[in-house]
Amino acid sequence: DIVMTQSPDSLAVSLGERATINCKSSQSVLYSSNNKNYLAWYQQKTGQPPKLLIYWASTRESGVPDRFSGSGSGTDFTLTISSLQAEDVAVYYCQQHYSIPFTFGPGTKVDIK
């Protein structure tokens, strides 16, 4: 199974400042035949289901604010919130959907400092 790790476990950022979350997979999730990274990012606010933010490691889902961006390839990925807003307080999960069982990272909690 591919193991997903995230760092940090939690972070507190001032409003308007940048938040950076890292995600690492134990094996590459880059599919060579289409050059796509099978890596997604989800946001989960308290009491709500997860919401898709980023897919293919860097493609923003429709309707997601452009302050959210994803980068990385192979085994190392980053979710960046360029200017943290109050509504961004949530837990963020990465997930690989390259091989079954699809696995999630443990989550990173983002709070306001």
Nearer to another protein, 72 or 105 (CB): 105
Tell me the Cα Rg of the chain: 13
In one letter, which amino acid is 69? Answer: S
Nearest alpha-carbon partner for 54 in 46, 66, 102: 66
Q: How far is the CB of 112 from another protein (least distance, A)?
A: 21
Pick between residue 72 and residue 107 the one whose CB is nearest to another protein: 107
Q: Which is nearer to another protein, 73 or 104 (CB)?
A: 104
| Minimum CB distance to another protein, residue 94 (Å) | 10
The rounded distance, in Å, linking the Cα atoms of 2 and 105 is: 10
